[in-house]
Amino acid sequence: MNRSVYGVWDGKVHDFRLIELGEQPAVLTGLDDFAPHNETKAFIADRGFLVFDRDMSLVEAFSQYLSQAARESCGRCAPCRVGTQRMRDLLQKFSAGLTANGILDDIKEIAEQVAETSLCGMGQSCAKALLDALHYFSDEFKPLKPAQAIFQHSFVYTTAPCIEACPSKVDVPKYIDGVKGGKFDFALGVILDKYSMAASCGRVCVRFCEIACRRRSVEGAVGIRMLKRYAADQAIANDRLRFTKSPIRRNQRVAVIGAGPAGITCAYKLLLEGFQVDVFDAQKTAGGMASIGIPSYRLPKDVLKAETEDVVRQLGGHFFYGKVLGEDFTVDDLQDKGYDAVFLAYGASRGSLLGIRNEDPKLAGYASGVDFLLKVHQHVEHGEPFAVTGDVIVVGGGNVAMDCVRSARRMGARSVHLIYRRTVEDMPAEDDEIVAAQREGIVFHCLTNPSGLVVEDAQVRGVELVSMRQTELDSRGRRSVEALPDSGFLMRCDLLVAAIGQQVEPSVLKPEDGIERDRWNCITVDPDTLETSRQGVFAGGDCVLGPLTLVNALDHGERAAAAIRDYLDDGEVRIRPERRMQNFLAKNKLFAGECLKTPPLHQDPVTLPELDASERIKHFGEVDRVISKEDAYAEASRCLRCYRLYSVVTAKPLQQPVRAAHKESTFTSNRP
């Protein structure tokens, strides 16, 4: 457990310099094992600083911290642009022994001006810890000793609430800065540094970033997803989303199983590194569930193709469609054919059963949500025959259920009903999707649950339902539901769609494959490296996490590519300081505080234009329209650049091997 020698955290002063350290509680957890076998000497953040080694140079630590602040300044306001550079320069002079009378007073005065008058979150927060240090521990500001120059190493991590909320950790303020400055290619480049599916993610991402946006508490979150889509659409519309073939710089070959978001991202990143990559998929096209599970009115398939298949082919990758792992080939086959590493990303494409009386997936008029959307996709995109007539009932409350009801409406159903056991407020689907479904004439039956199917001649003819009621609040503040006695009733239908979840197909892997799975058939992996229990085989996306979101899969694809690169380089897994810092910030909930000194001025958000409901239900054309350039500028200007800096000072550099791959690995379940 790290015990601070001195420091200030959340306004509380810790000073144990003159007494022997006892059993004092740790202010933060996780710093002692931030980097194994590498002592943590200090930590600096917007909420204060803590020093664990008296021999560490405080002035050098803050010099490195402010150097990062100067690099991150957008330059739009003088206090941040000039002040961070001036503080950095004065600290460096002081560190070098070029002291002058009043230099610390000068630094303190500048720090106060920067904190009080900067316009963005980064400027307002970057000098707070320095002010605390100068106020309470100015005697610890001393010129740098030779030994300190050799052994002191600082890693400064720049992030923001929206970045940390995003599974892929995309630098949101940076690409918004690009849009704000009219540099749309720059904005897109920030996103492409993480994954290729910018326009797709800009349409269907569940927007964890916007939930974390500081504007949300004023007049509404910045339209981060909207701006991502705008930057990407500009490139696609002007035919600038093109890549030249990546030169083969490495002899190793990698097989990617699954052309969904995780597999495509892994292939994309590895191709950019110069590896040879082949992608295998059971479907006819790339995209995975983003292709077959998200209807075209939300995600046009030409957009998806441009960011998946086209990008991978342009970079020199190859696709092998209609190939099913476990049927057409095995992991053994791939390794026998000379693939040096394998990435499993085959998703979770099996529908879940309702568990009610007379339920049988083979019945006519019965379909899982996934199977129904697949048939709709094959009909709309490939012209395969599929008709939806009569009355349709969909059971579920998530985004898949919304896709099913809205697709059934477009396919010509006479009526479409949604059955959900809880209230509308409890639905896990996005609010926008719920509102869109209601506007399109979908009839919601909440606090209603199916208990059985009415079957005649092997055909579903109706659903037996019971009414539900909410129970009292439990210890977690959540209400459950229970069936009302004698409340059963019947609703007739011609098609019942069970859209309550998806599962990983268990037959894909066999015990002899030597790849551990949990009781949900999800592959168990090392949580940091995504290594499986089999050497040379990595896994990610829904086959590891269970059915989650597109952006979670994108994150796994990028992380897997980095781990595979390390494995193929020298067989060593390396510390990723950014990943360690992200885990540390989340564990200590360091974004719980507010980084902005004063609430921002009200600024009306831009509304995304869309087709009228009466028009859009006639076809599968995209509902959401593109915002104007003027609206893009206006929305981007609402971003408060809530950057914060976190610095850890360690005895040795953080970029070093921590263990040989596959040795002493711990494989745990990835499901909640």
The residue out of 481, 503, 525 marking a domain boundary is: 503
- Other Cβ atoms closer than 10 A to 285: 19
Residue type, 125: S
Check whether residue 139 and residue 214 sit in a common domain.
no
Backbone Cα Rg of the chain: 28
Report how far residue 264's alpha carbon sits from residue 256's, in angstroms, rounded to the nearest whole number: 8
Mean pLDDT over 591-612 rounds to 80
Q: Where does the pLDDT of residue 598 fall: very low under 50, low under 70, confident under 90, or very high at 90 and above?
A: low
Alpha-carbon distance 373 to 21, whole Å? 63
Q: Are residues 498 and 358 in the same domain?
A: yes
User: What is the rounded CA–CA span in Å between residue 572 and residue 161?
Assistant: 32
Say which residue, 38 or 647, is predicted with more confidence.
647
Arithmetic mean of pLDDT, 638-662: 75
Q: Are 27 and 40 in contact (CB under 8 A)?
A: no
Element (H, E) at 66: helix 58-72
119 and 219 together in one domain: no
Q: What are phi and psi of 199, to 5 degrees?
A: -65, -35
CATH of the domain at 53: 1.20.1440.230
Q: Is 201 or 4 the better-scoring residue by pLDDT?
A: 201
pLDDT of residue 224: 98
The pLDDT of residue 24: 63
Q: What is the pLDDT of residue 663?
A: 32
Nearest CA to 204 out of 279, 309, 289, 313 is that of 289
Element (H, E) at 660: strand 657-660
562 CB-near residues (< 8 Å, 6+ apart): 269, 576
Residue scoring higher pLDDT (662 or 620): 620
**pLDDT, mean of residues 178-199:** 95
Q: What is the Cα–Cα distance from 374 to 132, expressed in whole angstroms?
A: 59
pLDDT on residue 8: 96
Asked whether residue 144 falls in the same domain as residue 110, the answer is yes
pTM: 0.92
Domain assignment present for 366: yes
Q: Do 54 and 183 fall into the same domain?
A: no
What CATH number is attached to the domain comprising 326?
3.50.50.60
Residue 402 contacts residue 427 (beta carbons within 8 Å): no
Statement to judge: residues 156 and 261 lie in one domain: no
Question: DSSP secondary-structure letter at 316?
Answer: T
What's the pLDDT score for residue 47? 93
Q: What average pLDDT does this structure show over 259-287?
A: 97
* Residues 13 and 147 both lie in one domain: yes
Residue 607 lies in a domain: no
pLDDT in tens, 204-249: 999 999 999 989 888 999 999 999 999 999 988 888 888 888 888 8
Residues 564-582: tens digit of each pLDDT: 999 999 877 676 889 999 9
Q: Is residue 589 part of a domain?
A: no
* Average pLDDT value for residue range 81-87: 93
Span 295-347, pLDDT tens digits: 999 999 999 999 999 999 999 999 999 999 999 999 999 999 999 999 999 99
318 with 191, same domain: the answer is no
Answer whether 57's CB lies under 8 Å from 145's CB: yes
pLDDT confidence tier of residue 146, bands split at 50, 70 and 90: confident
Region 161-187: mean pLDDT is 95
What is the rounded CA–CA span in Å between residue 425 and residue 423? 5
- Rounded CA gap, 479 and 41, in Å? 46
CA angle 532, 350, 490 (to 5 degrees): 150
Q: Is the pLDDT of residue 562 over 50?
A: yes
Q: For residues 61-87, give the mean pLDDT.
A: 91
Q: Give the residue-averaged pLDDT of 536-564.
A: 96
Let me know if residue 649 belongs to a domain: yes
Asked if residue 76 has pLDDT above 90, the reply is no
Q: How far is CA 449 from CA 151, 300, 490, 493, 498, in A?
A: 64, 33, 11, 15, 12
What's the domain count of the chain?
4
For all residues of the chain together, what is the average pLDDT?
91
The rounded distance, in Å, linking the Cα atoms of 204 and 48 is 38
Torsion 275-532-556-397 (CA) sign:
positive
Same domain, 25 and 154: yes
Residues 474, 400 share a domain: yes
| Mean pLDDT (whole number) for 15-22 | 71
Provide CB contacts within 8 A for 658, sequence distance 6+. Answer: 36, 573, 574, 575
**Which of 377, 371, 374, 344 shows the shortest CA–CA distance to 258?**
344
- 92 & 110 share domain: yes
Q: Determine what percent of the chain is predicted with pLDDT higher than 90.
A: 77
For residue 242, what pLDDT is reported?
84
- Of the residues 503, 528, 547, which one is the last residue of a structural domain? 503
pLDDT at position 652, please?
85
Question: Which of 503, 518, 541 lies at the terminal end of a domain, its last residue?
Answer: 503
Tell me: pLDDT of 109 over 50.
yes
Does residue 604 fall inside a structural domain?
no
Residues 212 and 170 in one domain: yes
On the CB side of 317, how many CA atoms lie within 13 Å of its CA?
A: 31
3-state secondary structure of 624: strand
- The answer to the question of residue 215 being in a domain is yes
Report the distance separating Cα 384 and Cα 391, nearest Å. Answer: 22
CA–CA–CA angle 395, 620, 237 (5° rounding): 130
**Six-digit token string for 406:** 């809205």
pLDDT higher than threshold 90 for residue 415:
yes
pLDDT at residue 374 greater than cutoff 50: yes
Backbone angles phi, psi at 525, to 5 degrees: -135, 165
Side chain identity, residue 227: L
Domain assignment present for 605: no
CATH number of domain containing 208: 1.10.1060.10
- Cα dihedral 567→585→29→112 (10° resolution): 130
Is residue 418 over pLDDT 80?
A: yes
**What is the rounded (10 degree) CA torsion for 395, 400, 406, 408?**
-60
Residue 95: domain span: 6-160+643-658
Task: Report pLDDT for 477.
Answer: 76
- pLDDT digit string (tens) for 504-540? 999 999 999 999 999 999 999 999 899 999 999 999 9
The mean pLDDT value for 584-611 works out to: 83
Residue 570 lies in a domain: yes
Helix orientation angle between 399-410 and 431-439, rounded to the nearest 10 degrees: 20
